[in-house]
Structure formats: C-alpha cells, structure tokens
Amino acid sequence: MHPKQILKATTTCLLALPLVLYSGLHLSRPPRTPQQRTLFQGIIYRREVRDLPRPLVLHIVTIDLTAPGVRVLVTPGKATPDNTEVQARTTTEFLREFQLQLAINGSFFYPFREISPWNYYPKSGDRANVVGQAIANGTSYSPPQPNWPVLCFNANSRAQIESSGDCPQGTVQAVAGNSVLIERGNPVGLNLDAGKSEDKPYPRVAVGTDAEGQKLWLMVIDGKQPLYSEGATIPELTTMLRELGADSALNLDGGGSKTLVTAISKQPTVLNAPIHTKLPMRQRPVANQLGFYALPIMDNG
C-alpha cells in the first residue's frame, strides 16, 4: 500500500474511533423497556419508560426500612487542615469499598468543574466539600446550612426530612438536598425562575418517605440524552413522587452526578444511565453517597 494510502487509512481510523466508542457507550445503557424485580429483602427496583411529555427513563427503588438486614450508610468524611471534608468517589467505588448492596449519589458539593472528558474536578481521590449537613455513623462532618434541608436516619434506620436543615439528636446518617418537594403529602410551592434548571427538563435524583419514616423511595430520572431520556422538571418530579405516595420528599444532587448502583451477585451493576463530561455511562466522582445494606432474597425453592 502506498504511504499516502496508509496515512489516509490511519487518519480515517483515528477519526472514527471516538464515534465508535461513543456509539458503544450508548449501546451499554439500560434498555428502554419496563422492568420490576426484587433486588434484596425489603428492596424493590422498578424501571419505567415514558414517551410523553418527552422521552423519559425513570428508576424507582422502594425500600422497606423495617425489613431485616436493611441498614443505611452515608459516605464517611473528616475535616482536614486544608478545610475539605471528604474524598470524592464514584458511586460504584463507594458501594464496593463499603460492601453495600445499593447506593445512590447524595449531597450537592464543591468545588466542581467540567471542561472536557479529561479536565474536570473532582476526580476520584480529590478532596471536596458537602453543601448542607452530612452525618455518617453518628459523626457530623458538614454543618447544617440554612435553606439546605436534610434527610435524617436514626439508629433504627427510620427516616425523616428536616426542612430546617438540622437533624434531630440521635441521627446517625444524613445527606442534604437543595429543596423540599413534598411536605405532609402536599407539594411545596417553589419559586421557579423561568430558564433556570428547575424549570427545564434535567436529570433528577430525589428521595421520598412515608409519614412513619418506615418506607423510602429513591427516584432517579435520566436526562441529557436525546431520544433516550431527556429529564424532568421539578414540578414533574414532585408529581411523580406524590403518585408513589410520598408524604415528604427532598431533591438531591442531579445532573451528571445521578448514579444508582446495586451489587447483584456481589458485582456492582449500574441501574441507570449516568452521563459525565457528556459521555453516557461514565460516572462522576462525587462528595458523598447514600448507601444501603440488605440481605439476599430468601430461596423458597
């Protein structure tokens, strides 16, 4: 083959490689087909697909906090001399490190930047700070902040959402969000600014509880992926949580942070379609996560 032909063929292959890789990432996303299954004792997963008002893929986990073996863990943190609170991890890394059965990304955090697929912060191992109160194993490592409501769990894994942003005494695990969506069964009127992310379809993560704090719903809505799942607005998210029966609900960090992972056959499996640095199925390292221990399903055979 002539050198010019070799050069042309090589250039063509190099130019086509990113497209091939990107197409492969699209194909690795969960299919747009409904699914429901029991993952562990007390934990049921459901994938829901909608075409209106736009393409949507919803992931809903229902957790019975009273089920035997169900325990909660928030990513541990510790303040350091450089005034950072926690080491960033992907949600899969968190699940694997603490040998959990289910995990989801948690609080909003800083610093953060996303410039290119290789230029972003934080990477795994970098230090970051949580916004709002964070408690792990009874130790608070990020203080309460006004206007950052918090999801609190006591020693019996009972849940409550505190709009004040400050968990009650006896709380052993806590993650914060940026807005209460439902309070005592009623939607909370948010001041949505036109053009802001709250008013636009966006990848979302939210948690809801029943009135007794014994049932927890995790909702992840994939987004930023045209024709696959394009996200939901905050009012749409609130309606979906009310349809589940949530008595209270809290919006957590969404966007490229949203990740839902489980350990099926002891191997991490990503249940949703994360998107980080515009790459589908790439997980973003985040400051903290909300994880769950659970027992395997009983074999009645």
| Surface-to-core class of residue 268, CB atoms within 10 Å of its CB (0-12 exposed, 13-18 middle, 19+ buried) | middle
300 found inside a domain: no
Q: Do 57 and 204 fall within a single domain?
A: yes
Q: Do 25 and 148 fall within a single domain?
A: no
301 found inside a domain: no
pLDDT grade for 13, boundaries at 50, 70 and 90: very low
Report the share of the chain in percent with pLDDT over 90.
82
Q: Give residue-wise pLDDT tens across range 84-115.
A: 999 999 999 999 999 999 999 999 999 999 99
Q: Do 13 and 135 fall within a single domain?
A: no
Residue 165 and residue 132 in contact, taking contact as beta carbons nearer than 8 Å: yes
Q: Give residue-wise pLDDT tens across range 148-188.
A: 999 999 999 999 999 999 999 999 999 999 999 999 999 99
Q: Do 112 and 239 fall within a single domain?
A: yes
Q: Do 141 and 289 fall within a single domain?
A: yes
Q: How many CA atoms lie within 13 A of 109 on its CB side?
A: 34
242 found inside a domain: yes
Q: Do 109 and 169 fall within a single domain?
A: yes
Q: Do 42 and 15 fall within a single domain?
A: no
Q: What is the pLDDT of residue 78?
A: 82
Q: How far is Cα 133 from Cα 141, in angstroms, rounded to an integer?
A: 8
Q: Do 235 and 175 fall within a single domain?
A: yes
Q: Do 72 and 216 fall within a single domain?
A: yes
38 found inside a domain: yes
Q: Do 23 and 152 fall within a single domain?
A: no
pTM of the model: 0.89
298 found inside a domain: no
pLDDT grade for 24, boundaries at 50, 70 and 90: low
Q: How far is Cα 206 from Cα 192, in angstroms, rounded to an integer?
A: 17
123 found inside a domain: yes
Radius of gyration over every alpha carbon of the chain, rounded to an integer in angstroms: 20
What is the residue range of 103's domain? 31-293
Q: Residues 135, 139, 141, 142: is their CA dihedral positive or negative?
A: positive
165 found inside a domain: yes
Q: What is the pLDDT of residue 231?
A: 98
**Angle at CA of residue 59, ends 241 and 188, nearest 5°:** 20
Q: Do 2 and 42 fall within a single domain?
A: no
Residue 274 and residue 238 in contact, taking contact as beta carbons nearer than 8 Å: no
Q: How many angstroms separate the Cα of 52 from the Cα of each of 47, 172, 229?
A: 16, 40, 11
Q: What is the pLDDT of residue 79?
A: 76
299 found inside a domain: no
Q: Do 177 and 201 fall within a single domain?
A: yes
Question: Could you give the number of structural domains in the chain?
Answer: 2
